[in-house]
Amino acid sequence: MDVQQALLKLIEGSIVDVPTSGRRLNPEGKNIQIDTSKILFIVGGAFPGIEKIIKKRLNYKDKSSIGGFLIDDKDNKENRKAEYNEIIDKVTHEDFKNFGLIPEFLGRLPIICPLRELTENEMCRILTEPKNALIKQYQALMEYDNIELDFDKQAIRAIAKKALDNKTGARGLRSIMEDVLLDVMYTAPDKVKAANHKCILKITEKCITDNVKPELVVKRNRGGNPLNDAKFVF
């Protein structure tokens, strides 16, 4: 409540004092005045549980239960996600009011733009398709040490699935990859120097799901097949 009241002054369009030093509690600090009436404010949040408020308002029948008993399987998880993406488009200011936002605050945010949950396929695309995709970033880093980083398709899908299960969204993808690659990134370069060849670091599905250590395979200098008898396991 107090935070919302404090934000009201900013978004209603007024002259506010902003400290130049970043120390708000310094009474002798210099301030500059900013007219917030010329600023476009975009406010975002996760609002966990708001879908329950929407369902109650719409008298929505939960497809994830039969006769009052919840069904908890893989297919039903997909059904619940589809239900969420279906009902979140119907969110209103009244739902946010029931969630806990004050009317004065909501009145100054006239446009609502709901975002749907990412699917597993979309998470896989985030990992691989953008110009600065996470996997491309790690591949570029490993290339400095003469290491070719290779993710199989099942490993990429396992990373996406783990992020969805953790409910961390796309922001959780990096932490999962760090868990898998952090130790390897420190130890693999020494092994590559010892082999005196370019190496392939293979990341499989079990590296993600079962914490199996990645395998470093020595590659021929002239682009031949990997040497099956020259492998390093961390």
Q: What digits encode the pLDDT tens for the residues 158-209? A: 999 999 988 888 889 999 999 999 888 888 888 888 777 788 999 999 999 9
pLDDT tens digit string along 52-86? 999 999 887 765 555 544 445 555 555 666 678 88
Domain that holds residue 77: 50-107
Treating both helix axes as pointing N-terminal to C-terminal, what angle do 120-128 and 153-166 enclose, rounded to 10 degrees? 120
Distances (CA, A) of 163 to 5, 122, 158, 167: 35, 12, 9, 6
pTM over 0.75: no
How far is 16 from 77, CA to CA, in rounded Å? 47
Q: Is residue 112 part of a domain?
A: no
Q: Is residue 115 part of a domain?
A: no
Q: Is residue 89 part of a domain?
A: yes
Contact call for residues 170 and 163 (beta carbons, < 8 A): yes
Q: Are residues 29 and 61 in the same domain?
A: no
Q: Is residue 59 part of a domain?
A: yes
How far is 179 from 212, CA to CA, in rounded Å? 12
How far is 65 from 218, CA to CA, in rounded Å? 52
Q: Are residues 128 and 63 in the same domain?
A: no
Q: Are residues 75 and 147 in the same domain?
A: no
